[in-house]
A and B are shown apart, each in its own frame.
Chain A
Amino acid sequence: MTPSQQPILQTINLEKHFGGLVAVNNVSLDIYPGEVVGLVGDNGAGKSTLIKMISGVYRPDGGKILLDGQEVHFATPMEARQRGIETIYQDLALCENLDAPVNIFLGREPVRRTLGLFTVVNRSYMHDESQQVLDKLDIHIPNLNRPIREMSGGQRQAVAIARAVYWNARLMIMDEPTAALAVAEQRKVYELVRTLREQNVPVIIISHNLQDVFAVSDRIVVMRRGRKVGEVVTAETTTDEVVGLIVGATAVA
């Protein structure tokens, strides 16, 4: 992360109102290639609303979003995804009755022709490509033909990440990625985040769990009541300082 680099994503004075409530107030944020940014704050601090504007769920009421220095307006989450902003929500949005390859390709299935007339889903291609992306991320899933339902929480998270990576995510947003995971699986997710960083994909992690954030992030952005109240380098701060920012006991650093 060098300051001279152009940020992949910039938000400038972003605002969102719900009726009289100002959910996000004048938030500016720069995300550089290959950095992991922790986004923390109490419930209702505006983290999710901010993320939903970046991922195309909400339209901002004020301010701008720049991707590679160009202003973008997303009408739908699909448009954001097409531009490389992949969001992994807490519920992962996986079809648990289907296997990993189908989930990775869902909505963008490769097809082939049979008898020169009928198009069918190309399962072997999906299987091979999925195996490759999973290998690249060092994820081991014993049997790719088993439904997601039969996988552990960590494996599911891994499939969701693999899907985003396969479709060339330029920026990954993860909402509470370790909330439902056992400790060993949390470590696996941290490893995946580091792998993404090595591949120069920036990651924004929203978490209530400061342990998470300190384990993987390079930078921590703190929100409180819709405003960005702090931005600290992880290596130069302490849990106490961040907690202070979250609850409003510490002045803006």
Chain B
Amino acid sequence: MEKTEALSGSTNRPVRVIEFLGQAWAWLFLLALIVIFSITGQGFFSLFNFQSIGANMAIIMIMALGQTFVIIAGGIDLSTGFVMGMASVFGAMAMTSWIDPTTTPLPLVVLVGLVAGVGAGMVAGLINGWLIARLQVPPFIVTLGMLGISRGAGFLFSGGMPVPVKVEGLGQLGNGYLLYYHANTGLTFLSPGPGLSGADLRQLVGILPHPLTLMIVLVLICHWVLSRTKFGLYTYAIGGNREAALRAGIPVERHTISIYLLSASLAAMAGVLYNMRFTNGAANAGDALLLDSIAAVVIGGASMFGGEGTIIGTLIGALLIAVIQNGLVILAINPFWQFIAVGIVIILAVLVDRARAKVVK
């Protein structure tokens, strides 16, 4: 390390400091926010609150995972918000009316919901990918069109109303924890210890809410795929120089289709997670989440021109947004300030990135 630094010559101390800040500013900013909110906000610094931040950001983060691949490959997927909503409608309808949820075991009900929701999402993703890769229609246009199509499809199939999911135990699953701890029963897996009731339940501690666990698993998988596999490398190559990727023999068309398929599938999975968390499906469930998920990717250092970005960066971006939203709520600040705060952070992120690029060059 020392040797290479010395050889490159131009890497002197101030440059290194700025480069470090350019990479670490989001971590430092996140840390500063957590410290500030912990001091000023009652109940911010607690296991319960941190876990609820995690559970609340899961849906946005899962959408942002797919978006990270898309943006690194030099595209954009504007349709994820309504694909997520459409998937939640299909998931809700499948779980309640395609099968009889009273006689079907819960895991099977969830599976049917997943197949229906993700299936619907995959159709949207395939159409996106095919139009972008084969017919070379700009991603912005294709996915803007798909935004409208999935929005309309979601509302048409749901009759314009939220679809309630009356399935025994589904809500507990969507809002449950992987582990429970109580002084009397110790650590138990998936459900509270036996014999707890009334006052005991108030001292029950849930550890790892299911949405958070699912999110962590998906984050780890996506991080591994993006940073270690050919699939990840090709994503960067296509975003960096599509022509070079083509000449190197990379299957650019097939890969582009896969990426939009992945993005839509993850958004659809977020839709089914929404079913389980809120026990309904709604065509506009993801309407407000699209921009937050893109914001997470951008704050995380991805370039809108493609070729740059990481899953860890996106995770920090999503964490920043979630912490800002949660902290402002705890401080009882008018919720409209959340939009302004997140907006400022997005612009800040791009400014920091540009300053870093200038210095490095």
Contact = CB atoms under 8 A, between A and B. Distances in A.
Contact of B237 (A98, A120, A142, A149): A98
B245 A143 contact: no
B249 A107 contact: yes
B230 A121 contact: yes
Contacts of B233: 98, 102, 109, 121
Given A97-B240, A150-B361, A120 B248 contact: no
Contact of B241 (A96, A118, A143, A146): A96
Contacts of A94: 241, 244
A98 B307 CA distance: 8
A95 B307 contact: yes
Interface in B65-87: none
A95 B240 contact: yes
A111 interface: yes
B248 A93 contact: yes
A88 to B, nearest CB: 11
B239 A97 contact: yes
Contacts, number: 67
Interface string A73-100: 0000110010000000001011111100
Contacts of A150: 360-361
B224 to A, nearest CB: 8
B229 interface: yes
Nearest to A160: B244
A142 B7 contact: yes
A106 interface: yes
Interface in A146-179: 146, 149-150
A119 interface: yes
A98 B240 contact: yes
Contacts of A118: 229
Contacts of B100: none
B12 interface: no
B228 A95 contact: no
A97 B229 contact: no
B37 interface: no
Given A97-B240, A98-B236, A78 B249 contact: yes
A94 B236 CA distance: 12
A95 B236 contact: yes
Interface of B: 4, 7-9, 228-230, 233, 236-237, 239-241, 243-245, 247-250, 307-308, 360-361
